[in-house]
């Protein structure tokens, strides 16, 4: 299984324990928490726990998480990964976030493209899914630019505080690409 994928502006590299500080520095933003299931506030300990789980998951094949590195600086800008892997059905869910200061540079469109390549070629997936809050226009746009189709809407699938939120389900099939 490859652990590094090179792109033009960004590259993906399997997450490692030493990424904790960089993840902590980039992820602790209410605008990221608003659009994901990532908790806020987020602590350095949360990052370390995530990396411990991610390392184990990669080893046993239940999750694959990559650092998104800027090719200009080599530094971590965000994370992209696969979870909810259903091997019998050859499907998995992709998720991602980018530090606020890196938004709007086309980084995530390229990172998702690289992640999709990993999913189809390395994980041998047939279907890649993504779930997006209805208010997350940027993430919908990223998925649409990468060729994902909207499958439908999960009504009130997430509860936060006293409010329920709908999620949009997007998918990309192997046959959509080849
Ligand atoms: C959503 C997110 C991943 C977008 O990453 P990004 O690198 O800024 O996106 P890109 O620069 O590749 O932009 C792709 C397209 O989306 C559009 N876009 C990005 N953010 C947008 C926003 N907030 N509102 C409207 N359009 C947006 C861009 O204009 C671009 O479209 P275009 O090429 O037609 O102009 C990033 O904002 C993020 O990490 N947000 C917080 C975490 C999150 O939402 N994760 C996804 C959970 S499903």
Tens digits of per-residue pLDDT, 75-94?
999 999 999 999 999 999 99
Torsion of CA 77, 114, 10, 134, to 10 degrees: -40
> Long-range contacts of range 32-36, CB-CB < 8 Å, 24 or more positions apart?
32/97, 32/100, 35/97, 35/133, 35/135, 35/136, 35/138, 35/139, 36/95, 36/97
Whether pLDDT at 178 is above 80: no
Q: Is the CB of 70 under 6 A from ligand 1?
A: no
Ligand 1 in reach of 24 Cβ (< 6 A): no
Beta bridge partners of 103: none
pLDDT tens digits for range 106-125: 999 999 999 999 999 999 99
Ligand 1 touching residue 138 (CB < 6 A): yes
Ligand 1 proximity of 143 Cβ (cutoff 6 Å): no
- Which ligand 1 atom minimizes the distance to the CA of 142? 14
Question: Best substitution site from 7, 141, 153 to test ligand 1's pocket, by max atoms within 8 Å of Cβ?
Answer: 141
Confirm whether pTM is higher than 0.85.
Answer: yes
- Bond into 41 cis (ω within 30): yes
What pLDDT was estimated at residue 120? 98
As a whole number, mean pLDDT of residues 10-14 equals: 98
Residues 6+ apart with CB under 8 A from 126: 89, 90, 91, 173, 174
Residue 172 has φ and ψ, to the nearest 5°, of -130, 125
Tell the residue number behind the tokens 């971590």, with chain if given: 76
Q: Spell out the CATH class of 4-126.
A: alpha beta
Ligand 1 close to Cβ of residue 35 (< 6 A): yes
């Amino acid at each position: 299984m490859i652990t590094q994928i090179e792109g033009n502006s960004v590259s993906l590299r399997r997450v490692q324990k030493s990424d904790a500080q960089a993840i902590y520095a980039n992820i602790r933003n209410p605008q990221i928490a608003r659009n994901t299931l990532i908790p806020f506030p987020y602590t350095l300990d949360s990052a370390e726990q995530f990396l411990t789980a991610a390392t184990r998951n990669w080893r046993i094949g239940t999750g694959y998480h990559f650092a998104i590195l800027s090719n200009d600086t080599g530094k971590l800008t965000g994370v992209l990964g696969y979870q909810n892997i259903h091997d019998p059905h050859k499907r998995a869910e992709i998720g991602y976030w980018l530090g606020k200061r890196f938004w709007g540079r086309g980084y995530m469109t390229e990172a998702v493209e690289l992640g999709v390549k990993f999913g189809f070629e390395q994980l041998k997936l047939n279907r890649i899914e993504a779930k997006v809050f209805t208010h997350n226009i940027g993430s919908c746009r990223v998925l649409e630019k990468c060729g994902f189709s909207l499958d439908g809407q999960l009504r009130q699938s997430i509860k936060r505080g006293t409010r329920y939120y709908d999620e949009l389900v997007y998918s990309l099939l192997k046959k959509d690409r080849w």
